[in-house]
């Protein structure tokens, strides 16, 4: 019998959103608890997914496959494998924490939480969809709430940031649409002889006919998908939307934006580009690795030059995502790609922590200018502790989770791109530089009397941060829960890419 756990996990927040929408005004105080309550089952299901996910089986699990639009042979096809499992867990966790973190939103509470839950559904959908059409719908569905969440609840320049974010991603998804159609018309389902959007069918080269056989089209499709995903990752030339979107978005939204949305790009590459166009993946690999390297170095240098704390963290995200791309573009071993997926998960957790911390300080001091602070460790020691841990995780200190993923990416990439990896390794110095410099300017040094009375971190904020902190430390010492989950699938993916002639 098909287990409907995936459909539940995707659409349950939508129910919550509906309830919130139709709550009468006087029950406004109920909205936040309902929003929170609608993400708790997600956590439970994520846990159930985690528990009975077969580690050794590389193919899709918890599959739900029913036909949806017969006319175009589009199926409602859900499934989870090693690559999407960590992402599903990450989304479930971060959604719960973000709602907890956005407790002090007071403007249009109804709109905020219903849009947020809609976003949650969209994100979950993207990670579980196995039909390109369904994938694309969830992908677009994500844009709408994000646009409003930034555009309405954002900071001073919110409209500019929201528009920029929206247009950038929209351009990306247009490219993706073109590629999608090319896949559709270039593929035929062996059983029924119809065109198909289904990833599993697109993945076996036998199903490709007509245009999808001709290398120029394949090259074009891969390029289109690459640009579409590069905007989302973001890789350097397409990244300028990220700092603006982050700076203007409210705390919880930039947590979700950095924590989950950035992973869509890399997830897309592994889910779509690699299995369907493996020969192109191999052809493009050096170029993508180079872009990854540029992102790492460029992101790190830009981060160092920032005055605004949130922008600094945004650029550090670009740099960390560069590691993912570098790790992913290696096919001669599985170490790199395992490191990449682990880095996606770890980066999600760490940036979430970083943005929550920025949120804590922004709520109190209403300024994010790094030089405006100084000596905060005196009156906010616990906060300094949390930030210290987050910064150390950010710069990849061994014993914390991101070191392992960064090390794996570097070690993996070293086999084929020796010089690039050595250059990428220099980033650990620059990253250490800007994180510690920020740490010093904010926390150390003489007590800045302007912030004399800043209250210590509140229990709620601590409740958001502690689970993340625990994960960062635990995964640092014992990363196997994630690694053995993704191992089988990635070995299969790499084999797939290498095997194709």
User: Residue ranges of the alpha helices (H) in 269-334?
Assistant: 274-276, 278-304, 309-328
Q: How far apart are CA 50 and CA 80, in angstroms?
A: 11
Per-residue CA distances from 328 to 113, 408, 410, 433, 463 (Å): 35, 11, 10, 26, 34
Per-residue CA distances from 39 to 94, 104, 137, 313 (Å): 10, 18, 22, 27
Q: How many CA atoms lie within 13 A of 357 on its CB side?
A: 27
State whether residue 101 is helix, strand or coil.
helix
Q: Which of 92, 122, 269, 302 binds another protein (CB under 8 A)?
A: 302
To the nearest 10 degrees (0 to 180), the angle between helices 335-365 and 84-101 is 0
Closest approach of Cβ 126 to another protein, in Å?
Answer: 25
Instruction: Indicate whether 414 belongs to the interface with another protein (CB under 8 A).
Output: yes
Q: Which of 411, 458, 467, 500 binds another protein (CB under 8 A)?
A: 411
Instruction: Indicate whether 407 belongs to the interface with another protein (CB under 8 A).
Output: yes
Instruction: Indicate whether 477 belongs to the interface with another protein (CB under 8 A).
Output: yes
Q: Which of 111, 372, 445, 481 binds another protein (CB under 8 A)?
A: 445
Q: Which of 169, 187, 334, 387 binds another protein (CB under 8 A)?
A: 334
Q: Which is nearer to another protein, 180 or 227 (CB)?
A: 227
Instruction: Indicate whether 272 belongs to the interface with another protein (CB under 8 A).
Output: no
Instruction: Indicate whether 398 belongs to the interface with another protein (CB under 8 A).
Output: yes
Please tell me what DSSP assigns to residue 456: P
Q: Which of 74, 117, 224, 483 binds another protein (CB under 8 A)?
A: 483
Q: Which of 48, 65, 282, 491 binds another protein (CB under 8 A)?
A: 491
Binders of another protein among 156-215, rule CB under 8 A? 164
Burial of 347: CB neighbours in 10 Å, binned 0-12, 13-18, 19+: buried
Q: How far apart are CA 495 and CA 489, in angstroms?
A: 10
Instruction: Indicate whether 378 belongs to the interface with another protein (CB under 8 A).
Output: yes
Q: Which is nearer to another protein, 30 or 301 (CB)?
A: 301
Which among 297, 362, 354, 290 has a CA at the least distance from the CA of 326? Answer: 290
The answer to whether the CB of 409 falls within 8 A of the CB of 336 is yes
- Number of chain residues interacting with another protein (CB under 8 A): 61
Closest approach of Cβ 266 to another protein, in Å?
Answer: 18
Instruction: Indicate whether 57 belongs to the interface with another protein (CB under 8 A).
Output: no
- Can you count the helices (H) and strands (E) in the chain? 21, 2
Instruction: Indicate whether 436 belongs to the interface with another protein (CB under 8 A).
Output: yes
The answer to whether the CB of 81 falls within 8 A of the CB of 60 is yes
Instruction: Indicate whether 434 belongs to the interface with another protein (CB under 8 A).
Output: yes
Q: Which of 48, 55, 282, 495 binds another protein (CB under 8 A)?
A: 495
Residue 68, strand partner residues:
none
Instruction: Indicate whether 437 belongs to the interface with another protein (CB under 8 A).
Output: yes
Closest approach of Cβ 302 to another protein, in Å?
Answer: 5
Instruction: Indicate whether 494 belongs to the interface with another protein (CB under 8 A).
Output: yes
Q: Which residues bind to another protein, rule: CB under 8 A?
A: 164, 237, 239-240, 298, 300-306, 333-335, 338, 375, 377-378, 392, 397-399, 403-404, 407-408, 410-411, 414-415, 418, 421-422, 425-426, 428-430, 432-434, 436-437, 439-440, 443-447, 477-480, 483-484, 487, 491, 494-495
């Amino acid at each position: 019998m098909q287990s409907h756990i995936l459909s539940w996990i995707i659409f349950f927040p939508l129910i919550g959103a509906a309830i919130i929408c139709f709550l009468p005004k006087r029950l406004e105080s109920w909205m936040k608890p309902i929003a929170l309550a609608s993400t708790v089952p997600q956590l439970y299901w994520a846990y159930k997914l985690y528990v009975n996910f077969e580690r050794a089986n590389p193919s899709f699990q918890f599959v739900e496959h029913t036909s949806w639009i017969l006319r175009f042979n589009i199926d409602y096809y859900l499934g989870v494998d090693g690559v999407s499992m960590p992402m599903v867990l990450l989304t479930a966790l971060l959604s719960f924490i973000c709602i907890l973190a956005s407790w002090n939103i007071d403007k249009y509470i109804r709109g905020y939480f219903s849009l947020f839950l809609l976003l949650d559904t969209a994100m979950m959908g993207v990670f579980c969809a196995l039909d390109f059409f369904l994938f694309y719908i969830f992908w677009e569905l994500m844009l709408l709430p994000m646009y409003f969440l930034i555009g309405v609840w954002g900071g001073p320049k919110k409209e500019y940031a929201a528009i920029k974010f929206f247009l950038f991603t929209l351009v990306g998804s247009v490219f993706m649409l073109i590629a999608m159609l090319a896949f559709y018309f270039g593929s035929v389902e062996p059983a029924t002889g119809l065109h198909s959007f289904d990833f599993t069918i697109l993945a076996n080269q036998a199903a490709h006919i007509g245009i999808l056989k001709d290398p120029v089209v394949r090259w074009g499709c891969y390029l289109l998908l690459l640009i579409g995903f590069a905007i989302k990752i973001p890789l350097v030339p397409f990244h300028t939307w990220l700092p603006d979107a982050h700076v203007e978005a409210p705390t919880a939204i930039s947590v979700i934006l950095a924590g989950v949305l950035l992973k869509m790009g890399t997830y897309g590459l592994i889910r779509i580009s690699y299995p369907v166009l493996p020969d192109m993946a191999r052809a493009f690999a050096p170029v993508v690795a180079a872009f990854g390297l540029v992102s790492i170095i460029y992101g790190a240098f830009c981060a160092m030059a920032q005055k605004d704390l949130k922008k600094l963290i945004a650029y550090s995200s670009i740099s960390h995502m560069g590691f993912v791309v570098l790790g992913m573009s290696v096919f001669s071993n599985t170490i790199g790609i395992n490191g990449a997926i682990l880095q996606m998960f770890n980066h999600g957790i760490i940036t979430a922590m970083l943005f929550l911390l920025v949120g804590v300080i922004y709520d109190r001091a209403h300024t994010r200018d790094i030089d405006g602070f100084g000596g905060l460790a005196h009156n906010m020691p616990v906060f300094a502790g949390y930030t210290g841990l987050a910064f150390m995780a950010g710069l990849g200190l061994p014993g914390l989770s991101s070191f392992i993923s960064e090390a794996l990416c570097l070690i993996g990439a070293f086999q084929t791109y020796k010089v690039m990896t050595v250059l990428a390794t220099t980033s650990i110095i620059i990253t250490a530089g800007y994180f510690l410099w920020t740490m010093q300017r904010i926390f150390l040094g003489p007590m800045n009397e302007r912030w004399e009375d800043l209250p210590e971190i509140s229990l709620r904020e601590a409740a958001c941060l502690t689970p993340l902190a625990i994960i960062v430390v635990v995964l640092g010492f014992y990363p196997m829960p994630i690694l053995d989950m993704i191992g089988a699938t990635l070995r299969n993916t790499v084999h797939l890419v290498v095997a194709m002639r």
